[in-house]
């Protein structure tokens, strides 16, 4: 489904450049990049290693800041925020889904999902409601008391998705969310992300090397040497 919500872009990148020093050299993973992402869009980013995909993902997530350019999220230029303000902004606006889950092994699924809420001014009852809802949305009802070692890889990724979702951020970013999973589990995770996009209207930006995963997105953009080189619009029933 090609988004027709052009006037409602939740993410707007203009002339984004990112540089950093590597020894005596200057590396430029992103150069003068423009990108609009509509509210509720499910965008896949593909491209070879070193093309700037994860760099762009981290800029959108507020984990890093561009060297130059303008990065507006919900009309706020996050490229101008200092580190403290960026951290506060990220807590409320972005959920990050990692390839390797990053779960705490000594905590249960419930406790892992609850972690992001501990820094929010919520009552214990409100945290409990949100955690159970996130686990249910991720298809983990009945697994609340299981530790990561007691879960399959697909179930661990579902816990990670529930954790990213629990604070109800408008944006979810995912870095190779199926990269460590078998084919069946990967398909189930992509179905879950698609559901979150369609039913909860989450804006999802996903980096992937897997064409099957990219097929589940509304759009797939290709990056090469820090620039968008191909735009593929996909139609979803």
Q: Which domains does the chain have, with CATH numbers?
A: 39-65+81-233 (3.40.50.300)
pLDDT at 214: 94
What integer is the mean pLDDT of 170-180?
94
Reported as a pLDDT band with limits 50, 70 and 90, residue 192 is very high
Q: How confident is the model at residue 4 (pLDDT cuts 50, 70, 90)?
A: very low
Q: Is the pTM of this model over 0.85?
A: yes
How do residues 65-77 score in pLDDT, each as one tens digit?
A: 999 999 999 889 9
Mean pLDDT, the chain, integer: 90
Strands in the chain per DSSP E: 9-22, 25-38, 42-46, 68-73, 76-77, 94-97, 171-175, 203-207, 219-224, 227-233
- Say yes or no to pLDDT of 34 above 90: yes
Q: Is 179 within 8 Å of 99 (Cβ atoms)?
A: yes
Residue-wise pLDDT for 115-139, tens only, equals: 999 998 999 999 999 999 999 999 9
- Separation of alpha carbons 157 and 185, rounded Å: 9
Q: Which class for 74: exposed (0-12), middle (13-18), buried (19 or more C-beta within 10 A)?
A: middle
């Amino acid at each position: 489904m090609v988004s027709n919500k052009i006037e409602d872009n939740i993410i707007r990148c203009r002339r984004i450049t990112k540089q950093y020093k590597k020894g005596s050299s200057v590396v430029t993973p992103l150069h003068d990049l423009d990108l609009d992402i509509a509210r509720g869009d499910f965008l896949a980013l593909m491209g070879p290693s070193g093309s700037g995909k994860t760099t762009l993902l981290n800029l959108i997530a507020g984990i890093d800041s561009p060297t130059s350019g303008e990065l507006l999220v919900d009309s706020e230029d996050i490229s101008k925020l200092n580190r403290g303000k960026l951290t506060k902004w990220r807590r409320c606006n972005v959920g990050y889904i990692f390839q390797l889950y990053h779960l705490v092994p000594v905590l249960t699924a419930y406790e892992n999902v609850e972690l992001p809420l501990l820094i929010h001014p919520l009552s214990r009852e409100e945290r409990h409601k949100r955690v159970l809802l996130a686990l249910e949305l991720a298809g983990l009802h009945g697994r609340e008391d299981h530790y990561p070692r007691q879960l399959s890889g697909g179930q661990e990724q579902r816990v990670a998705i529930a954790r990213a979702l629990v604070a109800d951020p408008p944006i979810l970013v995912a870095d190779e969310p199926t990269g460590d999973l078998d084919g069946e589990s990967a398909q189930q995770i992509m179905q879950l992300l698609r559901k979150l996009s369609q039913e909860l209207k989450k804006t999802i930006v996903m980096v992937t090397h897997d064409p099957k995963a990219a097929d589940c997105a509304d759009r797939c953009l290709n990056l090469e040497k820090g620039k968008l080189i191909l735009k593929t619009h996909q139609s979803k029933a």
